Amino acid sequence: MTDVEGVDAWEVLDSRGDPTVRVRVETADGAGTFTVPAGASTGAHEAVERRDGDDRYGGRGVRDAVAAVREDLAPVVVGRPVADQRGIDEALVDRDGTENLSRLGANAVLGVSGAVAHAAAAATGRPLYDSLAPDAGPGDLPIPMINVLSGGLHAAADLPIQDFLVVPTGAGTYPEALEMAWAVRRAAGRRIGDGDHPPSVADEGGFVPPTADADAAFELLTAAVRDAGYAPGDEVVFAVDVAATHFYDPTHERYALAGDRLDREAMVDRVVDWIDAHPVRSVEDPLAEDDWRGWERLVDRVGDRVQVLGDDLLATDAARLDRAVDVGAANAALIKPNQAGTITRTRRVLERAQAADWAPVVSARSGETCDSTIADLAVALDAGQIKIGSLARSERLAKYNRLLGIGRAYDGDFAGAAALAPRS
């Protein structure tokens, strides 16, 4: 078994122009590189990234995290079998010494963990989606959840809801799903633009709509689907990332949404109204990250007909997922490697979600690079769904294009609409 011979790290820039960590792991039989993403709408329960806090890049430099890779983590990894992902990841976590990886930084730890996964694939001459797969082999190509309209922390917009997305449930293949979403996005852009200038785009490539009202945004999206020649609710359904934590006031237990101050029950009612009025099949973070009673109440009302997707609620954390499963607080889990901090932790949460018959959705972050690891991860572990962003910007398209490449090299099926929760 090939051992790790060297580890290096350096600072690069992500899609927002902010610094992030890139790590390279060397073996005698191949090397692997991984670049760590970063979120804007980060939850309180995520693994903690390390930033320098000095004058460089407004305090967002990552030289300290890079130094942690070279000085603290490299000695832990060098000499270990590169294929021992679990053993290496456990050693990295032990070296940090904190549950949330706050001492050395989750961006340092994940950088090494991801680079080890790539190096192991290179050393064995296998594509990453095969190298990471269980003994049964890789799974299906995932159905994409594609961002069309953006507000919240991803855009300079009055719209507090973070993302409005389309899911091409009428597609029979992954390439067809991209074509359908492209047509809807183009139609939405024509409705928003003035003919001379394209509409503004947010961090993940979604258009910034000229409204602060969620129902108006849904109606714009419905019109775009029809303009593209598809049937809303049949061939194309909607997903929405509410990101409710960011307009929740925990002191008064109120949601400040578009001029309204809603209590828990009123917020649940508002989300149910959206589901009843529009072809919404997936709602992400519809309540705040620690409003467990609100989540349970929403699932009681709509969990038998739509996907209730936890991001900030779960933070790709096994203990929080277990609690959510026990109390029925959701029926789907967003999976973000940088929330978990290692490939092994990410895998553990995804597989626990599957074991509970929940739907996993592998997801990118708002601060991304052209690293396409999550595309391989989604296929390797048969996630069934992937959320990358819009069909714009190279850091998004690198992942969509990677899935097109996997589809050419691998004869797996397309997960399609059946991947969405609730599972029948």
Instruction: Cite the active site residues.
Output: 204, 336
Measured over the CA atoms of residue 55, residue 60, residue 64 and residue 66, the dihedral's sign is negative
Burial label for 93, CB within 10 Å (0-12, 13-18, 19+), is buried
Q: Is residue 311 marked as binding? A: yes
Q: Is residue 336 marked as binding? A: yes
Q: Are 154 and 204 in contact (CB under 8 A)?
A: yes
Query: Residues 350, 351, 357, 362: what is their CA dihedral angle, to the nearest 10 degrees?
Result: 20
Q: Is residue 276 marked as binding? A: no
Q: Is residue 284 marked as binding? A: yes
Angle of CA points 98, 338, 355, to nearest 5°: 90
- CA-CA distance, 317 to 322, in Å (whole number)? 9
- CA-CA distance, 177 to 168, in Å (whole number)? 5
Q: Strand, helix or coil at 231?
A: coil
Q: Is residue 399 marked as binding? A: no
Q: Radius of gyration over alpha carbons of the chain, in Å?
A: 21
H or E element, residue 7: strand 4-13
- CA-CA distance, 396 to 354, in Å (whole number)? 26
Q: Is residue 307 marked as binding? A: no
Burial label for 57, CB within 10 Å (0-12, 13-18, 19+), is middle
Q: Are 332 and 421 in contact (CB under 8 A)?
A: yes
Which are the contacts of 98, defined by CB distance < 8 A and separation ≥ 6? none
**The three-state (H, E, C) secondary structure of 183-228, written as one string:** HHHHHHHHHHCCCCCCCCECCCCCECCCCCCHHHHHHHHHHHHHHC
- CA-CA distance, 176 to 419, in Å (whole number)? 16
Residue 351: how many other CB atoms lie within 10 Å: 15
Instruction: Please state the residue numbers annotated as binding site for Mg(2+).
Output: 241, 284, 311
Binding residues for (2R)-2-phosphoglycerate: 162, 336, 365-366, 387
Numbered residues of the known binding site: 162, 241, 284, 311, 336, 365-366, 387
